[in-house]
């Protein structure tokens, strides 16, 4: 069709139909060509990776599955030469790994707390769930109260309240409940996975709003607010988490009256939450910087008040932009919870670490098995968070082209 163009004036009479792309661009072969053998370097890396997989996989599968000891009364079977992972040990210690030394007859209290938390989390994280406002109130206001009551025990105030209701109604069962239900379980008995989840959840739930508040405070027009936020962010961020934990552990009690001394678990919780918040503040600040000036102007020109503009226009966009950074912080925080062991909290990793020395079980594969189990646990959670964030990023792209 090009013959007419070269000789001057040209008017098209018919338009071409689209043709399918050449075979090299299509189908499995096209994909392999494009992704695995795009060039010499790509081809070399592909071959190297495949070789590595072929070399490693059989050994791993044998150790993890085929040669593994799945059930045994004690460590004898695992001590035999040539055995793989000692899953029997994990099974035997699973209760301890999950609950620490929490009284065995009251584990339902932990289970119920985790169950309610999981249900609320699904409600809030499910993209199409309805009435998230109610869910948020339940999660942030009601759940902490219920959770503390279930895990730690009924407080004196609630007990007194229940007792007065019992007196008013003359109900004997209520009076019994006021006296005996949910006895206190000291935090020195808490441990294992549920403590790790607790520390991580508190850190995540506190750090997002507090981080947003600090980020906004950092660009506040009020010098006192701005100064306070900058100092807090820079000081806490400039110090290792372990230092923050030690400070929280030893210095918090110095600042408050003796009988107000925070619980030994509460102290690292505050430290972790604070530490996560200042990191979050910097992530959010990046997001705020990414919102174009025009968005502020568009909102202002419509007469939206400052706080409505921030809440309805600026923050939704700023937070969407930094979802990868936020989730990155969450993942880092989730793994950093293992550091609370330093101040004597019996988190999951510490639980695994102590049990490998149990004389009934100790043997050559016990430590590795325990650590592989711990690694798998952390990986499942972190990978889950990562996939969830990718899904949300896609959903929140609002017609932007990728």
Residues of this chain that bind other proteins (CB under 8 A) = 294-295, 297-306, 308, 312-313, 316-317, 320, 396, 398-401
Is residue 273 within 8 Å of residue 202, measured between CB atoms? yes
**How far is Cα 52 from Cα 264, in angstroms, rounded to an integer?**
47
Which residues 6+ apart lie within 8 Å of 290 measured at CB?
Answer: 317, 318, 321, 322
Nearer to other proteins, 104 or 221 (CB): 221
* The pair of three-digit structure tokens given for residue 162, joined into one six-digit string: 């229940």
Q: From the CB of 308, what's the least distance to other proteins, in Å?
A: 5
Nearer to other proteins, 223 or 399 (CB): 399
Of 359, 377, 200, 58, nearest in space to 369 by CA: 377
Nearer to other proteins, 12 or 400 (CB): 400
3-state secondary structure of 82: coil
Which residues 6+ apart lie within 8 Å of 375 measured at CB?
Answer: none
Owner of token pair 């994909």? 31
Is residue 194 within 8 Å of residue 98, measured between CB atoms? yes
Q: From the CB of 16, what's the least distance to other proteins, in Å?
A: 23
Q: From the CB of 241, what's the least distance to other proteins, in Å?
A: 34
**How far is Cα 28 from Cα 39, in angstroms, rounded to an integer?**
17
Q: From the CB of 297, what's the least distance to other proteins, in Å?
A: 5
**How far is Cα 359 from Cα 336, in angstroms, rounded to an integer?**
29
Nearer to other proteins, 158 or 317 (CB): 317
Q: From the CB of 149, what's the least distance to other proteins, in Å?
A: 38
**How far is Cα 215 from Cα 217, in angstroms, rounded to an integer?**
5
Q: From the CB of 360, what's the least distance to other proteins, in Å?
A: 58
Is residue 304 within 8 Å of residue 314, measured between CB atoms? no
**How far is Cα 143 from Cα 205, in angstroms, rounded to an integer?**
12
Q: From the CB of 305, what's the least distance to other proteins, in Å?
A: 6
Is residue 117 within 8 Å of residue 143, measured between CB atoms? yes
Nearer to other proteins, 261 or 317 (CB): 317
Nearer to other proteins, 305 or 360 (CB): 305
Rounded to the nearest 10 degrees, the angle between the axes of helix 193-218 and helix 266-290 is 40
3-state secondary structure of 226: helix
Q: From the CB of 123, what's the least distance to other proteins, in Å?
A: 22
Nearer to other proteins, 164 or 305 (CB): 305
Q: From the CB of 380, what's the least distance to other proteins, in Å?
A: 31
**How far is Cα 128 from Cα 116, in angstroms, rounded to an integer?**
20
**How far is Cα 212 from Cα 112, in angstroms, rounded to an integer?**
31
Nearer to other proteins, 133 or 238 (CB): 133
Nearer to other proteins, 310 or 366 (CB): 310
What does the angle CA 279 – CA 282 – CA 288 come to, to the nearest 5 degrees?
145
């Amino acid at each position: 069709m090009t013959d007419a163009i070269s000789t001057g004036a040209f008017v098209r009479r018919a338009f071409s139909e689209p043709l399918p792309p050449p075979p090299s661009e299509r189908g499995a072969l096209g994909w392999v060509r494009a992704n695995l053998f795009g060039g010499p370097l790509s081809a070399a890396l592909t071959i190297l990776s495949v070789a590595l997989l072929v070399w490693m996989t059989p050994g791993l599968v044998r150790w993890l599955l085929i040669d593994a000891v799945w059930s045994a009364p004690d460590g004898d079977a695992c001590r035999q030469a040539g055995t793989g992972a000692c899953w029997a040990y994990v099974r035997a210690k699973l209760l301890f790994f999950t609950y620490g030394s929490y009284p065995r007859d009251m584990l339902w209290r932990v289970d119920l707390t985790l169950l309610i938390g999981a249900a609320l989390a699904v409600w809030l994280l499910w993209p199409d769930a309805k009435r998230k406002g109610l869910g948020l109130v339940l999660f942030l206001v009601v759940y902490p109260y219920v959770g503390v009551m279930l895990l730690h025990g009924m407080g004196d105030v609630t007990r007194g309240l229940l007792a007065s209701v019992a007196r008013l109604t003359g109900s004997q069962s209520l009076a019994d409940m006021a006296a005996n239900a949910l006895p206190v379980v000291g935090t020195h008995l808490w441990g294992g996975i549920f403590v790790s989840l607790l520390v991580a959840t508190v850190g995540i739930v506190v750090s997002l709003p507090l981080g947003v508040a600090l980020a906004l405070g950092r660009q506040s027009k009020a010098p006192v607010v701005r100064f306070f936020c900058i100092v807090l962010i820079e000081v806490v961020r400039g110090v290792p988490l372990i230092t923050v934990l030690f400070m929280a552990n030893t210095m918090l009690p110095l600042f408050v009256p003796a009988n107000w001394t925070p619980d030994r678990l509460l102290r690292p919780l505050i430290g972790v939450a604070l530490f996560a918040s200042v990191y979050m503040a910097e992530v959010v600040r990046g997001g705020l910087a990414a919102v174009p000036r025009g968005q502020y102007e568009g909102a202002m020109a419509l007469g939206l008040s400052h706080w409505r503009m921030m809440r309805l226009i600026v923050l939704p966009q700023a937070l969407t932009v930094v979802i990868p950074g936020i989730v990155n912080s969450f993942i880092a925080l989730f793994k950093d919870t293992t550091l609370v062991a330093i101040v004597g909290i019996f988190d999951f990793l510490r639980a695994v670490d102590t049990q490998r020395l149990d004389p009934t079980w100790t043997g050559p594969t016990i430590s590795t098995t325990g650590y592989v189990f711990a690694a798998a646990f952390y990986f499942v959670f972190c990978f889950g968070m990562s996939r969830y964030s990718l899904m949300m990023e896609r959903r929140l792209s609002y017609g932007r082209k990728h």
